[in-house]
Amino acid sequence: MATEEHFSNVLKETLESNGQLRKIRAKMRAEIFRVLDHSPDDQRPEMTPSVLLVNELVREYLEWLGYHYTNNTFIAESGLPERPTKRSVLMEEIGVTDSNGTASLPLLYSLVSTFKEAMKK
């Protein structure tokens, strides 16, 4: 007969092995930060289109790196909408197009790489 402790251990091991436990912990941390965040909104920059654009670029970069837990916390803390802005919209906003070499990279990475290359010239 399985004990409650055994069931708990099996459940924990299963959630750890499929990566769900880390996701649950990250979501819980993000929600705790959201609840505990008592900073007045006037201490944060106004959510202008430029701030939103930069935040979306950071979100895309964190997702590309696989920093899902950091990204969940960032989304909650920054007040970004749950659904990310489409890449095509971001590209239009910053005035860039994809090439074969950049289509698989986040836009922020591509921007920094392009800037660094231009500075070498």
Sequential DSSP letters for 81-109: -SSPPPHHHHHHHHT----TTTTTS-HHH
Read off the CATH number of the domain in which 29 is found: 1.20.960.40
Q: Which of 55, 120, 90 is nearest to 102 (CA)?
A: 90
Considering only 33-37, 63-67, 70-74, 104-108, which range has the smallest mean pLDDT?
A: 33-37
pTM: 0.68
Can you give the residue range of the structural domain that contains 114? 4-40+47-120
pLDDT, greater one: 3 or 85:
85
> Under DSSP, is residue 73 helix (H, G, I), strand (E, B) or coil?
helix
- For residues 12-20, average pLDDT: 86
> What tens digit of pLDDT does each residue of 87-96 get?
999 999 998 9
Q: What is the CA radius of gyration of the chain?
A: 19
Considering only 2-16, 23-37, 46-60, which range has the smallest mean pLDDT?
A: 23-37
- Residue 39 is predicted with a pLDDT of 60
- Residue 42 is predicted with a pLDDT of 56
Handedness of CA 35, 41, 47, 51 (dihedral sign): negative
Question: How far lies 62's CA from each of 15, 35, 65, 70, 72, in Å?
Answer: 23, 23, 5, 7, 10
Tokens of 116: 């660094």
Q: Which of 60, 102, 97 is nearest to 80 (CA)?
A: 60
- Residue 60 is predicted with a pLDDT of 97
- For residues 82-111, average pLDDT: 91
Domain count for the chain: 1
